[in-house]
Amino acid sequence: MDKLETDTGVPIDDVSAIRSFNRFFTRRVGALKPGLLGSPWSLTEVRTMYELRQRTRSEALELRRALDMDAGQLSRVLARLERSGLIVRSPSPEDGRRQVVELTDEGGRAAAVLDDRANEEVVGLISHLSAADRRRLIEAMSTVRRLFEDPAPADSAPASEGLSLREPGPGDLGWVVERHGALYPAQYGWDSSFEAWVARLVADYAQEPGGTGRRLWIAGADDRRAGCIACVPDDESTARLRLFLVEPEARGRGVGSMLMRECLAFARAAGYRRMVLATYSVLGEARRLYQAAGFRLVSSHDERAFGQDLTAQAWELEL
């Protein structure tokens, strides 16, 4: 028996299979070429420009966290990009000890060209696939991301036992409408206009179930429906989280976190750059899950909705 398998319980054949896939994938997407996407810049430099283009300007610490890069390596990358005239660095106006990084006009143009080339390269990789095969590919990528996420602490494992996740089957879309229509009036006093609104959302989804960039999941707990969540396009680069619900008796078992992880993994694999959602301040349990996933509150206002005076909130997450 191989020492690795003895020490960890992971068969060496499993390790070899994953390493083989890594070699295939990096070769297939051209990650090992000296100049990525036909440019004079490395993968790390191109990725740095991509992150800066999404943020317009960023503190170096925030950039380092997004790239999962140590401070010394990032400093060397930024120095090369600065010498090339692609970025500028300056002290933060809020705290002079912190450094702000942003693309120059030349850097913005270069990043835009690289973004277009990256899109064209992906089109070249998948253009021979049917729409059904593209959906299978995106689902598989979503699964890989979810399984490679940091594992939950050992003491949380029992809560996830008996949980499952799947796409809607017969009767599931009707259940989504019915449970929203029953739970929210019972818990928050909302009127029937909320159920009608949810019914319209579900009907819109049903027009193109499983279409590109959209998905709806049903969570199960002990072979019973326990919750749901949907990812739908808001625009070309933005996904919208909708129809997030967890049955009261299933709360505390990790159903909400499981749904959130799957939805975010799918959105990232589908190429979205951000995810947005609309909610109300009264929905405290859902808000805590949004915050734990990294969403930030971007706006709020008071409004009359579903027969109640509510505070509407907009939340956003950079993917």
Q: What is the DSSP string of 252-281?
A: TTTHHHHHHHHHHHHHHHTT-SEEEEEEET
Whether 147 is in a domain gets the answer no
Q: What is the extent of the structural domain holding 55?
A: 3-140
Are 36 and 134 within one domain? Answer: yes
pLDDT of amino acid 229: 97
Cβ neighbour number for residue 244 with a 10 Å cutoff:
20
d(C-alpha 298, C-alpha 71), whole Å: 29
Report the candidate in 249, 278, 243, 283 with the shortest Cα–Cα distance to residue 263.
Answer: 243
Whether 127 is in a domain gets the answer yes
| 96 or 71, which is more confident | 71
pLDDT of amino acid 305: 95
- Count structural domains, the chain: 2
Beta strands per DSSP E along 8-119:
57-59, 87-91, 99-103
Residue 136 token pair: 């299978």
pLDDT of amino acid 98: 82
- How confident is the model over 93-148, as pLDDT tens digits? 777 778 889 999 999 999 889 888 888 888 888 899 888 888 788 778 777 776 77
Residue 66 token pair: 């997004």
Assign residue 116 the CATH number of its domain.
1.10.10.10
Are 188 and 307 within one domain? Answer: yes
d(C-alpha 257, C-alpha 152), whole Å: 10
**Which of 140, 175, 199 finishes a domain?**
140
Average pLDDT of the chain is 86
- How confident is the model over 260-313, as pLDDT tens digits? 999 999 999 888 999 999 999 988 888 889 998 899 999 999 999 999 999 999
Mean pLDDT of 218-232: 92
Percent of the chain with pLDDT over 70: 92
- Band of the pLDDT at 208, cuts 50, 70, 90? confident
Assign residue 233 the CATH number of its domain.
3.40.630.30
Are 133 and 164 within one domain? Answer: no
pLDDT of amino acid 159: 45
* Position 152 pLDDT exceeds 80: no
**Which of 140, 171, 188 finishes a domain?**
140
- Band of the pLDDT at 36, cuts 50, 70, 90? confident
Whether 20 is in a domain gets the answer yes
Are 162 and 78 within one domain? Answer: no
Entry field: residues in the chain: 319
Are 224 and 301 within one domain? Answer: yes
pLDDT of amino acid 3: 60
- Band of the pLDDT at 178, cuts 50, 70, 90? very high
Residues 6+ apart with CB under 8 A from 24: none
Whether 150 is in a domain gets the answer no
Are 198 and 245 within one domain? Answer: yes
Are 183 and 269 within one domain? Answer: yes
d(C-alpha 249, C-alpha 222), whole Å: 11
pLDDT of amino acid 187: 85
Are 109 and 183 within one domain? Answer: no
CA of residue 204 relative to chain centroid, distance: 22
